[in-house]
Chain A
Amino acid sequence: MKHLLSTEDLSLSNAIRILDTAEEMSAVGEREVKKLPALRGRTVVNLFFEDSTRTRISFEAAAKRLSADVINFAAKGSSVSKGESLKDTAQTLSAMGADAVVIRHWASGAPHRLAATDWIDAAVINAGDGTHEHPTQALLDAFTMRRHWARLAGTGSEGTDLKGMRVAIAGDVLHSRVARSNVWLLRTLGAEVTLVAPPTLLPVGVDKWPCSVSYDLDQTLANGVDAMMMLRVQGERMNASFFPSTREYSRRWGFDDNRLRALDDLGMTDTIIMHPGPMNRGLEISAAAADSPRSTVLAQVRNGVSVRMAALYLLLSGDTREPAPHRVPAYAAAPSTKESN
């Protein structure tokens, strides 16, 4: 693995390796001194063409815990006419000696361009590109699900996959890089995925994806769900006639209090509720659902740092077959309270 660009082309063995390494990194986060010397002297650039404080500070924390030097580069106003081109920016970072570039870009495929061209030789990590992919988000989601799934099975999570887990992802799939990355990764890990959305917010061609598609959230829940992931709905979609009103959206596709109760009524005591954040409380998820013990929202944030440490470590530490240094016992049985906030 030289780059982490998408989960579509991430093999099962590489996915498991990242998740297992993240477990080890997670243990570091439990220590009093949360720092490893692994990437001392290496430079990680957070190149953000789009605002995302959450993702940036998560990568920043991950790189700093591995002792890397971190440069934050907010490159806004990126049109060719207005500012510096991606090529010039990349060559500039290359000249400064960047070892890894964590790139967030509003344009789908921008990380692929960095990786495919000779503009820069650094490892490229896709931190979200347009409506394409957000692989570290999918990895942290899978990490969170895997801990939950392993705990239910009464095993440790290291080395395990998500075989048999039923995952529903509801919301604006059309514009969601999170949904795309999750569909590919969850397929690779053996989960059964159902996308739930209004037909206007599903891409033409979704029928070829390795998942089921439903327009009916209640029916999907009734069929049985182990992890329910809600996607953020952008307010501007309403003005483009993707749905008639936010209230109608919320009634049909939001995870509201009725649906939260339905989980109990259906006897699905172990079903978790996930959200990549930031949440629109009252739109795609009710406050009660977001704050319920089923919610893994904060665990996802916490796990994000571990997964991003793993990705940086594996891409920058040379031989990716070697285990992480300072190997610590895996999380054999993560206390479930940690995963539910």
Chain B
Amino acid sequence: MAGNTGTYLIQGAAILGGDPADLLVRDGIIAEIGTGLGADGATVIDAAGLVVLPGMVDVHTHLREPGREDAETVETGTRAAALGGYTAVHAMANSTPVADTAGVVEQVYTLGRAAGWVDVRPVGAVTVGLAGEQLAELGAMADSRARVRMFSDDGICVHDPVLMRRALEYVKAFDGVVAQHAQEPRLTAGAQMNEGDVSAVLGLTGWPAVAEESIIARDVLLAQHVGSRLHVCHVSTAGSVEIIRWAKERGIDVTAEVTPHHLLLTDDLVRSYDPVFKVNPPLRTDADVQALRAGLADGTIDVVGTDHAPHPSEHKECEWAQAAMGMTGLETALSVVQHAMIETGLMTWADFARVTSTAAAKIGRLDDQGRPIEAGEPANIILVDPAARWTVDPFQMATMGRNSPFKGRELPGKVVATFFRGHPTVLDGALNTPHPDAAATPAGAA
């Protein structure tokens, strides 16, 4: 399927930040790695000073289609993903209709194929309509063309302990994983922001850390009890990191994700009452930020997931309590992680590849993503200029969402090129063309 991509000679790129080498990309794979490579007819890319990394894999993306095409479409969201250095995204299930049947996940999968910017892997809902009452047809979604392996009611917690237990047990039949949005609903009724010193002053209903931590504690014990695989979405508190560390030490099969914004921003920003900082889970304290960074660096937290959540402007240009929760993230993730983790000396580019690609592909069971950068491997790779600096302007982004909390910030790192199965979807830091296979996939096909 990748035979119609061109030939590209990438010269002098630092593989995972190491020594410079040349990479020959041909027919969708990395054909050769070495020094002084040549190839007739190849498009030559001067990559001196650039780092080559595996294409990023997002375990947590909201593409909003079907249903909220005024917020984002698969097309615009995956353009944003490619620009941000992604070659695969997991599309969350809270669309309208909910992705709780084989039909809807196949629709999203097909829209992704037709767009051709990245692999779109739909996430299936755990319960019908995200209602938390009965299991959706998880097996049918797993067997569909979308080959769903990750299931989540993200946005809503599977709070019924029996239902959560059944879901964890059931997905073992097809090597699935339940990605839990850990939020005890009774403890967070009407919650608006992290409960603590700032919420006390602002008079906004608090969202206690314990509402997240108590669910994680319960779920790791359930996962242990039934011998299944649990993924914890967007971990946001120091206590959650401690519980997951404890669970991993006991050998429980749990993975965890952290968002870029929780690695950088704190609830002090809510003092502005600007809803661009309203997000679920909420921004926490600096102590939480430091614990999340330490947890990501030491492997307690496995991956960075963007929780990219575009919203129409009217859902943010209003009172705090009225505003929708969520932030865009696909086009800023690399820069924020570089800023928070690499420039602080907590991680190397090799670590970056692990938390943004290798580990994420493993969680989602994506066989041809997150691979080593070696000859013979699929050419899902990106070129990054780590020395670049840029100022975030939401109106210059490919996502339809203008709700970036990093607006106006200067950040390091720029994606110069994204190769998706051998085809440059991004070149010279700008969108190029979708993968040629996309043209062969009618949007209506399933």
Binding site for B on A (CB under 8 A): 8, 78-80, 85-87, 105-110, 112-113, 116-117, 129-133, 177, 180, 203-206, 208-209
A130 to B321, CA, bound (A): 10
Residue of A nearest to B196 (CB): A205
Least CB distance, B133 to chain A, in whole angstroms: 25
A209 to B196, CA, bound (A): 12
Residue pair A204, B206 in contact (C-beta under 8 Å): yes
A286 to B382, CA, bound (A): 73
Residue pair B317, A109 in contact (C-beta under 8 Å): no
Q: Give me 7 A-to-B residue pairs in the complex whose CB atoms sit less than 8 angstroms apart, sorted by A's number.
A: A116-B274, A131-B204, A132-B202, A177-B203, A205-B195, A205-B200, A209-B200
Residue pair B201, A109 in contact (C-beta under 8 Å): no
A132 to B205, CA, bound (A): 10
Task: Return the 3 tightest CB-CB contacts between A and B, nearest first.
Answer: A109-B273, A205-B200, A132-B203
Residue of A nearest to B189 (CB): A240
Beyond known contacts A112-B272, A205-B201: 18 more, CB 8 A cutoff: A80-B315, A86-B319, A107-B321, A108-B273, A108-B321, A110-B273, A112-B273, A113-B274, A113-B318, A117-B317, A130-B203, A132-B202, A133-B203, A203-B200, A204-B206, A205-B200, A206-B200, A209-B200
Which residues of A lie under 8 Å from residue B318 when comparing CB positions? 80, 85-87, 113
Residue pair B317, A87 in contact (C-beta under 8 Å): yes
Residue pair A108, B203 in contact (C-beta under 8 Å): yes
Contact of B201 among A8, A79, A105, A129 (CB under 8 A): A8
Residue pair A204, B202 in contact (C-beta under 8 Å): no
Residue pair A80, B198 in contact (C-beta under 8 Å): no
Least CB distance, B154 to chain A, in whole angstroms: 23
A107 to B190, CA, bound (A): 12
A125 to B136, CA, bound (A): 51
Contact of B320 among A87, A109, A117, A133 (CB under 8 A): A109
Residue pair B319, A204 in contact (C-beta under 8 Å): no
Least CB distance, A73 to chain B, in whole angstroms: 16
A180 to B198, CA, bound (A): 12
A129 to B195, CA, bound (A): 19
Which residues of A lie under 8 Å from residue B195 when comparing CB positions? 204-205
Residue of B nearest to A204 (CB): B195
Residue pair B322, A203 in contact (C-beta under 8 Å): no
A222 to B285, CA, bound (A): 38
Residue pair A113, B273 in contact (C-beta under 8 Å): yes
Most buried by A among B196, B319, B320: B319
Map CB proximity to A onto B305-323 as digits: 1 under 8 Å, 0 otherwise. 0000000001101111110
Interface flag for B199 (CB, 8 Å): yes
Least CB distance, B346 to chain A, in whole angstroms: 29
Residue pair A107, B198 in contact (C-beta under 8 Å): no
Residue of B nearest to A131 (CB): B203
Least CB distance, A168 to chain B, in whole angstroms: 19
Residue pair B203, A80 in contact (C-beta under 8 Å): no
Interface flag for B197 (CB, 8 Å): yes
Interface flag for B28 (CB, 8 Å): no
Q: Is the interface of A mostly helix, strand, loop or mixed?
A: loop
Given known A108-B202, A108-B203, contact A80–B322 (CB-CB < 8 A): yes
Interface flag for B208 (CB, 8 Å): yes
Residue pair B204, A109 in contact (C-beta under 8 Å): yes
Which residues of B lie under 8 Å from residue A133 when comparing CB positions? 203
A78 to B318, CA, bound (A): 10
Least CB distance, A179 to chain B, in whole angstroms: 10
Residue pair A108, B317 in contact (C-beta under 8 Å): no
Residue pair B196, A204 in contact (C-beta under 8 Å): yes
Contact of A116 among B200, B273, B322 (CB under 8 A): B273
A113 to B317, CA, bound (A): 9
Residue pair A208, B317 in contact (C-beta under 8 Å): no
Which residues of A lie under 8 Å from residue B319 when comparing CB positions? 78, 86, 105, 107, 109-110, 113
Map CB proximity to A onto B264-292 as digits: 1 under 8 Å, 0 otherwise. 00000000111000000000000000000
Contact of A204 among B200, B203, B317 (CB under 8 A): B200
Residue of A nearest to B322 (CB): A80
Which residues of B lie under 8 Å from residue A107 when comparing CB positions? 319-322
Most buried by A among B195, B199, B200, B206: B200
Which residues of B lie under 8 Å from residue A177 when comparing CB positions? 203
Least CB distance, B379 to chain A, in whole angstroms: 46
Which residues of A lie under 8 Å from residue B208 when comparing CB positions? 204
Residue of B nearest to A115 (CB): B273
Which residues of B lie under 8 Å from residue A8 when comparing CB positions? 201
A162 to B202, CA, bound (A): 25
Which residues of A lie under 8 Å from residue B198 when comparing CB positions? 205
Which residues of B lie under 8 Å from residue A203 when comparing CB positions? 199-200, 206
Which residues of B lie under 8 Å from residue A205 when comparing CB positions? 195-201
Which residues of B lie under 8 Å from residue A110 when comparing CB positions? 273, 319-320
Map CB proximity to A onto B179-219 as digits: 1 under 8 Å, 0 otherwise. 00000000000001001111111111110100000000000
A204 to B199, CA, bound (A): 8
Which residues of B lie under 8 Å from residue A86 when comparing CB positions? 318-319, 322
A130 to B204, CA, bound (A): 8
Which residues of A lie under 8 Å from residue B317 when comparing CB positions? 85, 87, 117
A8 to B273, CA, bound (A): 15
Which residues of B lie under 8 Å from residue A180 when comparing CB positions? 201, 203
Least CB distance, B268 to chain A, in whole angstroms: 13
Residue of B nearest to A79 (CB): B322
Residue of A nearest to B317 (CB): A87
Residue of A nearest to B200 (CB): A205
Least CB distance, B211 to chain A, in whole angstroms: 12
Which residues of B lie under 8 Å from residue A209 when comparing CB positions? 200
Least CB distance, A127 to chain B, in whole angstroms: 15
Which residues of B lie under 8 Å from residue A109 when comparing CB positions? 202, 204, 273, 319-321
A129 to B321, CA, bound (A): 11
A71 to B201, CA, bound (A): 31
Which residues of A lie under 8 Å from residue B274 when comparing CB positions? 113, 116
Which residues of B lie under 8 Å from residue A106 when comparing CB positions? 321
Least CB distance, B4 to chain A, in whole angstroms: 47
A74 to B440, CA, bound (A): 58
Residue pair A108, B201 in contact (C-beta under 8 Å): no
